[in-house]
Structure 1
Amino acid sequence: MRHILDHKLFNIRLGFIILCLYWLALFTGTHLPGDSVPSTGHHDKVQHFLAYFGLAVLCSLVIWPSPFAAQPSLAQQNQSPGEPNRPSPMKSLRRWFQGSLWRSSWLISVVLISYGAIDEITQAFSPGRSPEWGDFLADALGVISGLLVCFCVCSLCIGLVSCFAKPEQKCQGDTENRQPPASVPLD
C-alpha cells in the first residue's frame, strides 16, 4: 500500500508539492506588510508556533519513510525506470536523510530553525514588520515539538508494525503464551 504523500503529480511526489506550497504560503504570510495583516496581539506567538509545528510535521512526513510501507532495497531506491544503475542525486540525498530518524530529525531541526531565524531577520525589510526574539523562540519550539510528536508517532507505528508483521513471533514484553525454560519442572 502506497502512502498518500508518495503519489505523484507531474512525476513529483505529492508530499513534496504540499510541503513547497505550505512553505511558500508561510514565507508570504510572514513577509506581508504589517498594515495588511490584522493585529493578533499575543496570539501571534501561537500562530508562529503552529505554523512551524506544521512545517516540521510536513518535512518529516516527506523525508521519513512510511513505517507501513515495504521498504525498497538500496538498489531499488537508486534505480530509475530507464537507467538501471545510475543513482539520482535527489534519491541519494533522501536516502541519506532516511538513514536514521535521529539524524534526519536533527538535520530537519537545524534547517527549519535556521530558516526561522532568517525569516525573522528578513521581516525587518517588510514595511510595518520587525523581527522579535519571541517569534523566533515560538518558531523553534514549534519545530522541536512537531519533530518530537512525529518521532514518537513514527516510533510507535514502527513498533506496532513489527509486532504484527510476523504473527508467529511475539513482541518483546509479551508474556502471554510464553513457554517456561526447559530446566523448570512443570507441576
Structure 2
Amino acid sequence: MVQFLNSRLFKILFVIACLAIFTMSLMPGKQLPKGLPWDKALHFIGYAGLAFLARMGSKKHPSWQIVIGCILFSLLIEILQQFIPKRGFEWWDMMANSVGVFFGVFIAIPIKAFLKKRKIMATD
C-alpha cells in the first residue's frame, strides 16, 4: 500500500501555508475581504494549522523549535505590517498566533503517533 501521508507532503503543505499567511497578512488593510469572522479567531486558526503542518512534517526538529520558529515567523509578519497601509503591529494578534501555534503542535503530536502506529503515515 502506498502511503500518501508522509513528512514530505506535510512539508509542502507547510510551505504553501507560510506563503498564504505571509501574503494575506501583508495585504493593505483596504484590500482585506469584508465580512470576515472575528479577526483573532483567524489568527488562531491560521497559526494552529501552520504549526500542525510543521510538526507533522518534521522528523528532526523537536516541538519547542517548531513553536519558537512559528512564533518568530508571526513576529516578523507583525513587524512588517507596520509598513503596510492600514495595518500595524498588534499584541493581541501575537497572542492569538502564539496560542494557535501551541495548540497546533499539541494536537499534532498524538495524531502523528497514531497515524504512524496504524501505518497510515510513512515513518520515512
TM-score of the pair, normalised by structure 1: 0.56
**Runs of 4+ off more than 4 Å:** 39-42
- Contact 1:59–1:108 (8 Å) recurs in 2: yes
Identify which of 40, 49, 53 aligns with 1:45.
40
Q: Distance in 1 between matches of 2:80 and 2:56?
A: 27
Secondary structure of residue in 1 paired with 2:109: helix
Alpha-carbon spacing, 1:40–1:109, altered in 2? closer, same or farther (3 Å): farther
Aligned to 1:133: 91
Alpha-carbon spacing, 1:153–1:137, altered in 2? closer, same or farther (3 Å): same
Alpha-carbon spacing, 1:107–1:3, altered in 2? closer, same or farther (3 Å): farther
Aligned to 1:6: 6
- Contact 1:57–1:146 (8 Å) recurs in 2: yes
Alpha-carbon spacing, 1:48–1:2, altered in 2? closer, same or farther (3 Å): same
Which aligned pairs between 1:27-176 and structure 2 lie closer than 5 A? Answer: 27-39=22-34, 43-64=38-59, 94=60, 97=61, 104-155=62-113, 157=114, 161=117
Query: 1 or 2, which has the higher helix percentage?
Result: 2
- Contact 2:56–2:112 (8 Å) recurs in 1: no
TM-score of the pair, normalised by structure 2: 0.82
Q: Distance in 2 between matches of 1:2 and 1:108?
A: 28
Tell me the percent identity: 32
Which structure is larger by alpha-carbon Rg, 1 or 2? Answer: 1
Deviation at 1:4, TM superposition (A): 1.9
Deviation at 1:17, TM superposition (A): 2.1
In structure 1, list runs of 5 or more residues that go unmatched.
Answer: 8-12, 65-93, 98-103, 163-187
Q: Which amino acid aligns with 1:4?
A: F
Higher RCO (C-alpha under 8 Å, 6+ residues apart)? 2
What does the per-residue CA deviation read over 1:76-115, in whole Å, with 9 as the maximum and x for residues that have no partner? xxxxxxxxxxxxxxxxxx4xx2xxxxxx100000100111
- Contact 1:33–1:126 (8 Å) recurs in 2: yes
Secondary structure of residue in 1 paired with 2:33: coil
Deviation at 1:137, TM superposition (A): 0.2
Q: Which amino acid aligns with 2:55?
A: S
- Contact 1:5–1:62 (8 Å) recurs in 2: no
Q: Which amino acid aligns with 1:107?
A: Q
